[in-house]
Structure 1
Amino acid sequence: MNKKDHNIFKDIIENKTFAYKIAEDFHHLAFLDIYPMKIGHTLVIPKKSINNIFSMTEKRFLSIMSFCRKVGIALEKTVPCNRIGIFVLGFEVPHVHIHLIPMDTENDGNFSKKRIFLSKKNFVILSKKIKEHIID
């Protein structure tokens, strides 16, 4: 398999690869980015593999946006910030993924910036705190 075609998100969905999951339902999964731009940087993915967000049906598109809203609200309650930025790039992995990033300035959404490091302990604590704010 070509490394570029490898879908790490499929492995996370199937529990073949560990992730700090913070929310999940039948169609979606949210987990902390292990190379975050800011503390709380979260990825939201559909469980059904699709490469382009605008290839999703309107129903699935609205569903994932609703799921992002629920996760974003929990992030705002957990991580001090001015707002949660939402980004859809999708070049790294051939699977729709939405970045939810706690932001204080527009520069916090600069994907060319150096990523921050968090210890496993900090990831565990953070994911637990965010989960406490997820409302069904």
Structure 2
Amino acid sequence: MNKNIFTKIIKNEISAYKIAETYNHLAFLDIYPLKIGHTLVIPKKENIEKIFSLTKNEFLSIMSFTRKVAIGIEKIIPCNRIGIFVLGFEIPHAHIHLIPMDKESDGDFSKKRIDLSEKYFKILSKKIKKSIEIEK
């Protein structure tokens, strides 16, 4: 089976700017963000392409994890709110986008993405990671 990029990140075959992790979930910064702090939250369970294909308990668990991550992001990134988006067309693995937003158009996925340096991503991921309260 061909591994998608999220499976490779889960298995540490490629690096990511991880900000939170549990046995079942992983959150990391999107390397092509719409806004600074744009984060992806994924289940570690493989072969789940759609968020609603998760069992009820898996869905509730990832949403609880996502809430904790969003609260942590909001502590570091000034914004009016954290937007939550579930699209999943680009990668066949269930995932949630968390985007710091000041206006509705900040969630427009057709917009040009922000280009950030590796150094900036490292600093940002460390700051956000420290602000997230996750039980392992």
TM-score norm. by structure 2 comes to: 0.95
Which residue does 1:105 correspond to in 2?
103
Match for 2:56 among 41, 55, 58?
58
Instruction: Report the Cα distance in structure 2 between the residues aligned to 1:52 and 1:134, rounded to whole angstroms.
Output: 26
Match for 1:30 among 14, 27, 31?
27
Runs of 4+ more than 4 Å apart: none
Deviation at 1:26, TM superposition (A): 0.3
Which residue does 2:75 correspond to in 1?
77
1:13 aligns with 2:10: yes
- Count how many residue pairs are aligned between Structure 1 and Structure 2: 133
Q: Which runs of 5+ in 2 are unaligned?
A: none
Q: Residue type matched to 2:14 in 1?
A: T
1:47 aligns with 2:39: no
**CA shift digits 1:57-101 (9 cap, x unpaired):** 000000000000000000000000000000000001100010000
TM-score norm. by structure 1 comes to: 0.95
Instruction: Provide the secondary structure at the position in 1 that maps to 2:16.
Output: coil
Contact 1:6 1:93 in 2 (8 A): no
Q: Which runs of 5+ in 1 are unaligned?
A: none
- Aligned-residue RMSD, C-alpha: 1.0
Deviation at 1:6, TM superposition (A): 4.8
Q: Residue type matched to 1:48 in 2?
A: K
Q: Residue type matched to 1:71 in 2?
A: V
